[in-house]
Structures are given as C-alpha cells and as structure tokens.
Amino acid sequence: MTRPVLVPILGDQLSRNLSSLQGLSPGEAVILMMEVWDEATYVKHHKQKIVLIFSAMRHFAAELRAEGWHVDYVALDGAANTGSFTGEVARACERHGASEIRITEASEWRVQQAIMEWEDRLPCPVSILPNTRFIATHAEFRAFADGRKHLTMEYFYREMRRKTGLLMRDDGKPEGDVWNLDADNREPPKGDMLAPPAPKFAPDTVTQEVVALVAERFADHFGDLEPFGWPVTRAEALEAAEAFFARRLDLFGPYQDAMVHGKDDLYHSMLSTSLNIGLLDPLELCRAAEAAYKSGKAPLNSVEGFIRQIIGWREYVRGFYWYTMPGLAEANELAAHRPLPEFFWTGKTDMRCLSDCIRTTREDAHAHHIQRLMVLGNFCLIAGIAPREVQDWYLAVYADAFDWVELPNVSGMVLYADGGRLATKPYAASGNYINKMSDYCGKCRYKVAQKTGPNACPFNPLYWHFMDRNRARLESNHRIGRIFATWDRMGEAKQAEYLESAEKFLDSLEPARKGWARVE
Ligand code: FAD
Ligand code: DLZ
Ligand code: SF4
C-alpha cells in the first residue's frame, strides 16, 4: 500500500454508511478504532454504557475486517495506549505513515474541539466530513433558528416532515390532516398493561470479555454490570427494531407518558442506544414505522408519535445543541445552586417514584422519557439542583447519553437553564401529575393528596416553593403566569405552610459525596 488514508472511527460512529468511509476502498485506508481512558472516564459512565460501546466497537471492527478493511484496533489495555483520541491518532499517523486523516465530525462539542486542533498538531492534512446520519444539516437548523426567540420544536418538526416526506400526502398536507397527535397520546397506565418486553441479547464471547474488563477496571462506576442485554451489532439492533414494530409500536402512542412501577420499557422502542452509536439509521426506522401505518399494522397516533420523537425531538435537540454551544453547558437562568442529593446515586429515598426511576437507571442504564422528565427532572427543577450536577448525572447514568442529546434535554427541557429557548415554560409539576400518570403513589410512604406537613408528597410544597422563588422570572410567561393568581389567593398563612414544608424537606437532603460522577 502507498501511504494510506487514516480513518479514525469513534465509538458512536459505528455505521457502514459513515461519511468518512464513502469513496474509499479497503486497499487505500487504515481504519483506526480506539478504546481510550479519557473517553471512558470524562464522566464515570454507567458500567453497561462502557460495555455497550467497547463491545459494539469490537464487533464493528470485526465486521469491517471481514469485508477486507485494515482495522488498527487499540484496546484499552493495549501497550503504550496514551489514553486520548489525539494521542492515539498521533501514534497511528506515525505507525502507518498516513498521507491524510479523514474523519466524520464528532457528535459532541468537546471531541470536535480536539479534532479541530489536529491539523496544527499532527504531521498530515486533516479532512473533517459532515455527519450525514442526521436528517437536518447544521445549516438547515441555523436557517430555522436565526431570528427566532423561542425555537419551538413543532415548526422545525414540520420542516423535517416536508423534507423527508414522512406521513405527507401528495397534496402537501400531513396524513390525517393534523401534524401532531400528541393530545391522543396521554393515556394513564391501565392495571393490566402487559407490554411484550423488549428483546435482550445474551452476551457472546466478545461481550463477555468486555464485561470482565469493565468489572475489573471500572468497578467504582455507578450501575449494575449484569445482566447486560443491549444490542451490540447492527443485526441485533435490527432484530430489536423489528420486535418493536411487530409487538409494541401499535400502543406506543397512547401509553407514551404512562409510568408503571418496576417497568421502564412498556411500549417504548428501547432503540436510543442503537441509534446513538450508529447501529441504526433514524430515517430507516421512521420509514419502517410509516410502512406499519400504511399496511394497517399500527394507528396514526402511534406512528406519528414515534416519528415525531425521531425527526422532531431527536433532530431538534441535536440542532439546538450545535446552535447554542458552548454557552448551553454554562447556562443557569434560574440560578439553581443546590447540590444533587446522594439518593440519586443510591436510590435510598422514601419517594417511591424517584426510587423506582433510580432503580431502573441502575439496573438497565435506561429510564423512559417521562421518568427522566417528569419524575427525576421535575424533582431537580423544583428542588433547584445546580445544572452542572444534573448534567453530569444524566450523562453518566444512561447508556444512550451523549452530550449532544443529554445537554439540551437537561438544560433546556428539564431545568429551563437556557431561559426558555428550548421549552416555552418549565415542566414543573406537583405530585398530582405523577399520580395521574403512574401507579407510584398508592404505596408511597408520602401522601400525594396531602399538601403540606411531614407526610405530604414532597413534590407538592416544592412546586410552590419553586414558583414563589422564581416569580420574578416566570410571572410574565403567558403559559405559566396565571398560576401566581392561584398562589396569591391562598393567603399568607397557607403560603407560609407550603414554604416551611418545602424548606424543611430541602434541609433534610443529604448532598451527594464527591466522586460519583467524576474521577476526583
Ligand atoms: P422511545 O420512547 O421509544 O422514543 C423513540 C426515540 O425517539 C428514542 O429512541 C430517541 O432516539 C428519540 N427521542 C425521544 N425523545 C427524545 C428527546 N427528548 N430527545 C432526543 N431524542 C428523543 N435520549 C438520548 O438518546 N440520550 C440522552 O442522553 C437523553 N437524555 C435525556 C435526558 C432528559 C432529562 C430527558 C427528559 C430526555 C432524555 N433523552 C435522551 C430522551 C429520551 O428520554 C430517550 O431518548 C428515550 O427515553 C430512550 O428510550 P427509547 O429508545 O425507548 O425511546
Ligand atoms: C462514551 C465512550 C466511551 C465510554 N469510550 C469510548 C472509547 O473508548 N472510544 C471511543 O471512540 N469512544 C468512546 N465513547 C464515545 C465518545 O466518548 C464520544 O461520545 C464520541 O466520540 C462522540 O463525540
Ligand atoms: Fe412520588 Fe409523591 Fe407519589 Fe410518593 S406520593 S410516589 S413522592 S409523587
């Protein structure tokens, strides 16, 4: 081989249609894949997340080799591994006498900044190619966002429907004459919800080796290592997707917001890990969902709801991330400074909703959207937890967590830390919402109907404490401002009871000790 092109492929770029591989043939390139300490520990990821990424990387490398590609795979314990992407790319450049480095842009700001320095630090030219595994380009999101005060997802979503043609009729109108069927998708759980569980994949020898590695090297990271059942190859991810389309998509819509103790998958797809690391393509999933609607296998509200999550929310948060970084990571509009409570890591709390969401997070490295938003996130919002601490927690504990998708959800959707650019109002809620949408409250030590006092559901006084302390910032918001009339009508004595109950509860919270989320 003459001097080869060096193609680094990162742990979330495991797609055969990756832009950096296009137009190259196996004889011209060396593909570099790197397990590096810096990436495994910039937050102390859940053990299953590390297994997922390392195992999926090892399987992908084997598949490329079987196709005839020269893959240089640097294992975590490989001799002289420098522990960083830049260090490993520099070493590989020299090892192979590379003529050029060709890489698909990173999905995360932090990594992309490092890549942009390579041209100055390394001895050969660097080409950074666009990430074509998203539907909207950065330029398209900028064109949508420039000049808008609120970047309402709904309008962006309609653009994506038009761009892809998904659920669009020939006359340019949306299927069913409505763009968004969210109003049909808020059913509370029923007593006998027997959703067929998402498939789990038994670890093969490659995964078993990684499990052993993670047990030894990352023992102090949060989360149960086993049982591990996430898809680690495209074939497994496709099987998981097919199982979802065949058995759960039909009821995905109505029960999207429902929460049931002991269950985090319900009718959800459980496909975010496969999508985010590149095993599945967002458009192929949406086309399959559309086909299920057209063949009468799933109703429009479920199919539209699923497609909206992917070409709406997923694309939107990715565009929002690149549009607002690096400021988004620092934003703290509501001046929230309280440390994250220790129970987020241990699950030891009498609040049954929170302990169940933390349990599933620990066991599966997953919780579904409403658990993340309306239980865990809502608590952090109304208790005033510092955005940096909340961000680190979410980034560390979920197998699907990458900065580009976690940060807008946490800072924008949950904490209103961006001042309302992403969400038009804070998603603050009292215990009533959780009671309506779950079966958590009946067996909780707290009483959801009780508003104040030691036995009251803590979400109740915290809700009013949040409103009261943020009044100056929120009162002019037309979607939430009216709530203050209710607060004023309560009168001073009742208000004082709420505030005192909330403060007593907040004072009782034990702050998390250092070292859970980051190596100290
Ligand atoms: P489903 O309910 O089956 O939804 C289908 C797909 O839609 C998901 O796989 C996902 O790709 C996409 N999707 C749905 N909602 C969102 C959203 N708000 N943002 C982006 N994509 C979405 N998702 C992540 O992939 N990584 C994260 O780090 C992450 N952090 C989150 C943090 C918070 C505070 C909140 C509120 C949401 C977060 N989400 C994140 C979004 C969502 O909770 C997960 O995508 C979903 O729970 C994954 O499970 P699923 O595949 O079964 O999703
Ligand atoms: C999350 C992660 C982990 C745990 N380890 C690696 C790794 O060793 N090598 C790798 O290429 N990627 C890893 N990743 C994903 C990266 O941290 C990062 O999210 C992506 O490169 C996108 O920026
Ligand atoms: Fe959660 Fe309150 Fe219900 Fe208990 S009563 S489960 S704390 S919402």
Query: If you average pLDDT over residues 80-109, what whole number do you get?
Result: 97
Over 80: is that where the pLDDT of 146 sits? yes
Would you state the structure tokens that stand for residue 447, as one six-digit string? 């009483």
Task: State whether 98 and 147 are in the same domain.
Answer: no
Cut 0.95: pTM above it: yes
Q: Provide the pLDDT confidence category of residue 375 given band limits of 50, 70 and 90.
A: very high
Domain assignment present for 299: yes
Q: Which residue's alpha carbon is nearest to atom 30 within ligand 1? A: 406
Q: What is the mean pLDDT of residues 155-180?
A: 97
- Tell how far the Cα of 360 is from the centroid of ligand 3, in angstroms: 17
C-alpha 394 to ligand 3 mean position (Å):
21
Burial group, residue 440, by CB count within 10 angstroms (0-12, 13-18, 19+): buried
Residue range 266-278: mean pLDDT, rounded = 97
185 pLDDT band, cuts 50/70/90, is: confident
- The DSSP 8-state label assigned to residue 201 in this structure reads -
More confident residue, 481 or 248: 248
Domain shared by 504 and 417, yes or no? yes
Residues 379, 497 within the same domain: yes
62 and 177, same domain (yes or no): no
190 has a pLDDT exceeding 90: no
Q: Has residue 367 been placed in a domain?
A: yes
Decide if 224 is inside a domain.
Answer: no
Q: 335 in a domain, yes or no?
A: no
Q: Ligand 1, closest atom to CA 306?
A: 5
- Give the strand pairing for 100-104 and 126-129: parallel
Residues 119, 192 within the same domain: no
Mean pLDDT of 190-219: 93
pLDDT at 172: 94
The atom number, within ligand 1, closest to the CA of 256 reads 2
* Ligand 3 mean position, distance from CA 371 (Å): 13
pLDDT (0 to 100) of residue 431: 98
Q: How far apart (Å, rounded) are the C-alpha atoms in residues 182 and 95?
A: 54
Under a CB-based contact definition with an 8 Å cutoff, are residues 43 and 517 in contact? yes
Domain extent for 76:
5-129
496 shares its domain with 381 = yes
Q: Is residue 332 part of a domain?
A: no
Q: Provide the Cα torsion 233, 235, 237, 238; round to 10°.
A: 160
Q: If you take atom 3 of ligand 3, which residue's CA is the nearest one?
A: 441
Give the pLDDT mean for 233-261: 96
CATH assignment at residue 264? 1.25.40.80
Do 293 and 151 fall within a single domain? Answer: yes
Name every protein residue with a CB atom under 6 angstroms from any ligand 2 atom. Answer: 10-12, 34-36, 39-40, 45, 50, 53, 106-108, 111, 402
Mean pLDDT to the nearest integer, 55-61: 98
What six digits make up the tokens of 453? 């006092």
Element (H, E) at 57: helix 47-66
For the chain, the residue count is 520
Q: Is 430 in the pocket of ligand 1 (CB under 6 A)?
A: no
User: Is 80 exceeded by the pLDDT of residue 191?
Assistant: no
pLDDT at 305: 97
- Answer whether residue 322 shows pLDDT above 70: yes
Ligand 3 first shell, C-beta below 6 A: 351-353, 431, 434-435, 440-441, 444, 446, 448, 457-459
| 338 part of a folded domain | no
Average pLDDT, the chain: 96
Q: How far is the CA of 396 from the centre of ligand 2 (A)?
A: 12
Task: State whether 388 and 289 are in the same domain.
Answer: no
Could you identify the atom of ligand 2 that is nearest to the CA of residue 49?
4
pLDDT digits (tens, 9 = 90+) for 377-418: 999 999 999 999 999 999 999 999 999 999 999 999 999 999
- pLDDT digits 0-9 by tens, 27-37: 999 999 999 99
Asked if 387 and 331 count as a contact pair (C-beta separation under 8 A), the reply is yes
Q: Among 350, 441, 447, 450, which is best to mutate for testing ligand 3, by the most ligand atoms less than 8 A from CB? A: 441
Q: Are residues 123 and 145 in the same domain?
A: no
CA of 232 to the centre of ligand 2 (A): 15
Mean of pLDDT values over 307-333: 98
pLDDT value at residue 1: 60
Task: Give the total number of structural domains in the chain.
Answer: 3
Specify whether 432 is located in the same domain as 482: yes
CATH number, domain at 48? 3.40.50.620
Distance 11 CA to ligand 2 centre (A): 5
9 pLDDT more than 90: yes
**Percent of the chain's residues with pLDDT above 90:** 92
| Last residue in a domain, options 129, 148, 174 | 129
The answer as to whether 513 is a domain residue is no
Q: What is the pLDDT of residue 264?
A: 86
Same domain for 168 and 314: yes
Q: Are residues 318 and 172 located together in one domain of the fold?
A: yes
| Nearest residue (CA) to ligand 2, atom 12 | 11
Rounded distance, CA 241 to CA 143, Å?
33
Sign of CA dihedral 128, 102, 41, 13: positive
Answer whether residue 414 is part of any domain: yes
Q: How far is the CA of 193 from the centre of ligand 3 (A)?
A: 21
Give the tens place of pLDDT for each residue, 338-350.
999 999 999 999 9
CATH number where 380 lies: 1.10.579.10
- Distance of CA 24 from the midpoint of ligand 2 (Å): 24
